[in-house]
Amino acid sequence: MSPFPASGTALQIAFIVAAFGVLLDTLVVRSSLVPALVIGIGPRAWWPGTLARPAPRAGDGPRSG
């Protein structure tokens, strides 16, 4: 016998709350908020922007002399 008489009901409610949280995250945050923030931030939002530039070649550095 369980010390919590409605443990099955509480577990069902917990699963419903978790499913609602995942659904809310998927639909609201990832589908509308993230694209809106990326548009608002602009080119600074694209992480590989600094990595997309070609690396300097061995002989192109500053000359000391």
Domain ranges of the chain: 16-42
Residue 62: predicted pLDDT:
67
3-state secondary structure of 57: coil
Side-chain half-sphere exposure of 41, counting CA atoms within 13 A: 11
Residue 18: predicted pLDDT:
94
| 18-57 tens-digit pLDDT | 999 999 988 888 888 888 888 888 877 776 666 666 666 7
Question: Does position 64 have pLDDT exceeding 80, yes or no?
Answer: no
Between these two residues, 63 and 4, which has the higher pLDDT value? Answer: 63
Question: Does position 13 have pLDDT exceeding 70, yes or no?
Answer: yes
